[in-house]
Copies of this chain bind each other. A is one copy, B any other.
């Protein structure tokens, strides 16, 4: 097979001196509305941007300024849009991060909020509502930041494609949130998604629809086909905005090489990479020129790793190192160590994610205006030995992944094995089942990141501002 180079680009950075390159300003005007959509052939209300879900892809070059005028045309719901992976904190505009309750008050129905921020690193990013479950309801999209003209990435490719992955439910996010917020035995889990969407397209088996409108012949839900040519190298910009599912991504019969993650060039890395059984497989056609579009491959669908085989993931996560030409070593010492034990917990009878036994409620006044949360009490867990893969994401800053491991973090011995030489910079990292992960970050300006939360976890901060107490799980 001539075609064997596919580069994975899930968020990419560069430390280029921009010199005299002219930065541009990109204006976008978005109207947020509910619309009936059938992304997987099943008709339901989705939250859209200018009538579309996913929303429009934002394209820019490093150093450009993005201006997005967000008009909230929802009837009774507020909103806020977060720019995932954009270092709003580092570049001096933390109030443009779009995190309701943290960096801003929500945008009310009928109101307009104008986001303005600089994209200071090339890479693949995404945006989504950071309010309630609106992200899951369709309010999301991609951001592609290219290197400026005349500059080159440390890898070669002929063409590129964007791939946005999403898990999709047929009931409303209202149904979901009410069930999740019920106390005690009334708690109702959302269950596995009905479909996996790729670039807003999926394929639900309409014969399984017990109610509602499902039409398998809608053009809207024609499966995504990516057409490629023999002998060419393709850069795939992949973003996952799933709410529940931890996905594996593979292309049958092809090797994939990770070249970038979270806006930082990676030492080229062969790639392999689920959540609990029941997550549907999202199969799409990878079509070579010359083969009629839509023809079903004669091969049997590869099964992929087992849902609970997290070794693949842990391995890939740990094996991702900074590109040799782009190593930026972390501080050898941290000023402060904060250990956060992440569990599913019962808090006042309600099922909640918790950190050191404390469940999170956003304050009425956004954190950026008034930081006033304490982390108290020792940790317990809802169900013994219950743990699953969960991503952690830092807003506004990048961090170094210093180490990870199985079982409980040992503050005496584990830090001696930290990688302080060539860890990659990231802003998103998966904490694996019953494992721990240590990160380190420099706080550049006095604004604080916050985390979206599984399992034993350690964050090693240079110095912390948001978290007032250091507790050991």
Contact = CB atoms under 8 A, between A and B. Distances in A.
Interface in A314-333: none
Contact of A78 (B109, B133, B361): B109
A174 B172 contact: yes
Contacts of A35: 178
Contacts of A108: 78, 105-106, 108, 364
A32 to B, nearest CB: 12
A132 B76 CA distance: 6
B174 A133 contact: no
Interface string A99-115: 00000011011110000
Contacts of A178: 33-36, 45
Contacts of A386: none
Interface string A60-82: 00000000000000011111000
Given A77-B77, A131-B76, A134-B76, A175 B45 contact: yes
Contact of A174 (B131, B174, B211, B364): B174
* Copies of this chain in the oligomer: 2
Interface in A250-267: none
Given A178-B34, A178-B45, A364 B111 contact: yes
A177 interface: yes
Contacts of A181: 33, 75
A362 interface: yes
A28 to B, nearest CB: 21
Interface of A is mostly: loop
Instruction: Report, nearest first, the 5 A-B pairs whose CB atoms are least far apart.
Output: A211-B211, A76-B132, A75-B132, A76-B77, A34-B178
A1 interface: no
A37 to B, nearest CB: 11
Interface of A: 33-36, 45, 75-79, 105-106, 108-111, 131-134, 172, 174-175, 177-178, 181, 210-212, 361-362, 364
Contacts of A109: 78, 106, 132
Contacts of A210: 211
Contacts of A78: 76-78, 108-109
A191 to B, nearest CB: 16
Nearest to A101: B110
19 contacts: A33-B178, A33-B181, A34-B178, A35-B178, A45-B175, A75-B132, A75-B174, A75-B181, A76-B79, A76-B132, A78-B108, A78-B109, A106-B108, A106-B109, A108-B364, A110-B362, A111-B364, A210-B211, A211-B212
A399 to B, nearest CB: 29
A34 B174 contact: yes
Contacts of A131: 76
A219 to B, nearest CB: 18
A76 B109 CA distance: 11
A35 B181 CA distance: 10
B76 A110 contact: no
B172 A133 contact: no
A78 to B, nearest CB: 6
A374 to B, nearest CB: 18
A220 to B, nearest CB: 15
Nearest to A105: B108
A315 to B, nearest CB: 38
Contacts of A132: 75-76, 109
A136 to B, nearest CB: 12
Nearest to A363: B110
A89 to B, nearest CB: 24
A8 to B, nearest CB: 34
A62 B469 CA distance: 53
